[in-house]
Amino acid sequence: MLVTEKLTRPLTEAKYLNADNADRYRSIMRIFYENYEKLRYWMYQEEVYAEMTADPYFADYRMEQCQQDLAMLTEWKNLSTIQDTRRVSSIEEFKNKKFRYQMSEYSVEIERLVVRLENLFIEGASLEPTLLERIRLNVERFPEMEFAEPDVVYGWWNDLNNDFIRLNQNYQDYMRDLNSVKAEEMMRTQQFLVFKDKLIEYLRNFIKGLQKNVGVIEETLRLLDPALLERVLDRVNDYEMSIPRMDVEISREMIEEKTRGRFESIRNWFAAEGGQENEAGRLFDATNEIIRRITRYAAQLSEKNALGANRREEYKKVAEIFLKCQDMDEAHRMAAMVFGLEKPLHLRLASDRATDSMNQSVYAEPAAELILKPRVRTYRERSGRTSIQDASREKQQMRKQALEQMRADWKKLSELEQGGRIDFERLPVIEPRVREILLKWLSDALEDGGYSARTEDGRNFTLDMTHADERCVVRCQDGNFTMPKLSIVFQEGAL
């Protein structure tokens, strides 16, 4: 992709399609477009107002609104204006600036697109083998165009490109319709059997056109002399450069790039290079795949209808057999024959046998039990109901043990305190439980900005960080570890 100024600039010409009062703007632009097709390029404000108010929808439309709408469309570059001085008879009329309005080039193309979108489902798409025939004939005329008149060359080139554009767009739109969800649902209905033969015949005719013309076009393009091609394309460029254009600056490079790009699109569509599959081959495969899918759905529908018909005949035959039964006993036996299982299935549990003897009969072995569970998501096994047990004694016992453990911990910690502080450098060999409590106190104090914290029994303490840059070794029953030389200083009381 080449990012240019035209690509990045905002498209203000399309604002009138979705802006406020879009019904008025679109109606005015449709009036200009219809007059444009009648070769009436310039219109006055009074003429636009007259056509607007002719419709009952705009019965309350005022001249001031028309003037404002035309001014807004001019600001969005949908209309271009010129002051009409031919009918001016006084200075006052000249000051009032009576304008004539004309559609811009962008607006013409936008309205053409809108009209096409409005008729999209009415026009539809199609596969036309005649387009392939015409493209083949025009491609074969390449050598003739070297010496033909310039206007003939330019007309031939436009015909070739227009046919190719129509072919490319029509096949894409038609394939999109056949691969849509709506078409998929239609193929599953009984009504599809009515016109499926006609659709298959239509697609096969198009495939015949592909097979007949694509090979010739591909061979012609591959054997085309590059020098001859350049001379013909130069003649097309020369004629297009000679066309007078108003207010449009077109360079030779732009025209050559456009012409070369169009030819490369045609050549890649029919004769792709580099070992890649061309677009014509993809279209051929896609069309065949659609035919196979149509045939498959039609066969399924036919089998469904035939199956229903066969079942009706079978039920009728069974009813006749039951009518011939002499009594209820014979009818019961017949029912067991008709509706019973012809080959009943037996369940066997994969468990260890009581004996490995090959002479042991299965009837002599004990029966095995297999509990079957429903295979649904909502199934839940039934849980047995139990009464609430009184655990107050166990809780009291656990509380008592916890308090005893806590008293034992406080006693061990009080033995470590000397003068209201605990120095890690002077600690004796301590237990892992005591080490965990001390390290927890350190962690709580280090998380505080003032290096202070509170123990579990409510005593406040601070850390002495005076010798924090030095190291000491704390000895424990399960090993030693090195840490900064810190001290825990209690602020009141003793453990």
User: What pLDDT, in 10s, does the model give residues 287-301?
Assistant: 888 888 888 888 877
CB of 103 closer than 8 Å to CB of 33 = yes
Residue 241 is which amino acid? Answer: M
Q: Helices marked H in 54-90 — which ranges?
A: 63-75
CA distance linking residue 30 with residue 52, whole number of Å:
10
Query: What is the arithmetic mean of pLDDT over 185-204?
Result: 78
Q: Are strands 487-490 and 421-423 parallel, antiparallel or unpaired?
A: antiparallel
Query: How many angstroms separate the CA atoms of 41 and 76, rounded?
Result: 18
Q: Which of 192-206, 339-353, 445-459, 478-492 has the lowest mean pLDDT?
A: 339-353
Query: How large is the average pLDDT for residues 328-353?
Result: 76
The length of the chain is 495
Looking at the predicted structure, is the pLDDT value of residue 174 above 80? Answer: no
pLDDT at 198: 83
Statement: residue 494 has pLDDT above 50: no
Tokens of 38: 């009648």
> What is the model's pLDDT at position 30?
92
> What pLDDT, on a 0 to 100 scale, did the predictor assign at position 26?
92
Q: Which range (37-41, 160-164, 174-178, 420-424) has the least confidence?
A: 174-178
Do residues 77 and 12 touch, judged by C-beta distance below 8 A? yes
What is the DSSP secondary structure assignment for residue 425, as one 8-state letter? G
Phi, psi of 181, rounded to the nearest 5 degrees:
-65, -35
The number of CA neighbours under 13 Å toward the Cβ of 78 is 23
Per cent of the chain over pLDDT 90 is 7
- What is the SS3 assignment for 484? strand
Average pLDDT over all residues of the chain: 82
CA distance 104 to 81: 10
Given a cut of 80, whether residue 98 has pLDDT beyond it is no
Give 124's pLDDT tier (boundaries 50, 70, 90): low
Residue with tokens 């404000």: 45
Phi-psi region of 482 (alpha: psi -120 to 50; beta: other; left: phi over 0): beta
Q: Tell how strand 487-490 and strand 460-464 pair up.
A: antiparallel
Q: Provide mean pLDDT across the span 126-134.
A: 79
Count other Cβ atoms within 10 Å, centred on residue 179.
13
Q: By C-alpha distance, which of 270, 283, 269, 265 is closest to 178?
A: 283
Residue 129 Cα distances to 138, 175, 178, 476, angstroms: 15, 15, 18, 95
Cβ–Cβ contacts within 10 Å for residue 442, how many? 18
Query: Where residue 424 falls among pLDDT bands split at 50, 70, 90?
Result: confident
Residue with more model confidence, 471 or 367: 471
Instruction: Identify the pLDDT of residue 495.
Output: 44
Q: Is 211 exposed, middle or buried (0-12, 13-18, 19+ CB in 10 A)?
A: exposed
For 369-389, what is the mean pLDDT?
A: 77
Asked whether 270 and 214 are in contact (CB, 8 A), the reply is yes
Burial 221-250 (b: 16+ CB within 10 A, else e): beebeeeebeebbebbbebbeeeeeeeeee
The rounded distance, in Å, linking the Cα atoms of 186 and 294 is: 11
User: Above 50 in pLDDT, residue 388?
Assistant: yes
Confidence of residue 97 (pLDDT cuts 50, 70, 90): low
Q: How far is the C-alpha of 117 from the C-alpha of 114, rounded, in Å?
A: 5
Q: How confident is the model at residue 432 (pLDDT cuts 50, 70, 90)?
A: confident
- pLDDT the model gives residue 122: 45
Q: What's residue 449's pLDDT?
A: 81
Q: Which of 94-103, 148-157, 220-229, 311-320 has the lowest mean pLDDT?
A: 94-103
Inform me whether the pLDDT recorded for 192 exceeds 70: yes
**How far is it, in rounded angstroms, from Cα 363 to Cα 155?**
96
Q: For the residues 107-114, what does the mean pLDDT come to?
A: 90
Which range is least confidently modeled, 225-229, 343-347, 385-389, 403-407?
A: 343-347
Helix (H) or strand (E) holding 44: strand 43-44
The answer for residues whose C-beta is within 8 angstroms of residue 212's C-beta and 6 or more apart is 129, 132
**The pLDDT of residue 248:** 64
Over range 262-266, report the average pLDDT: 87
Q: What is the pLDDT of residue 413?
A: 82
Mean pLDDT of 34-53: 87
Is pLDDT larger for residue 176 or for residue 120? Answer: 176
Q: Which stretch of 224-233, 237-246, 326-335 has the lowest confidence by average pLDDT? A: 237-246
Beta bridge partners of 454: 460
Contact 128, 229 (CB under 8 A): no
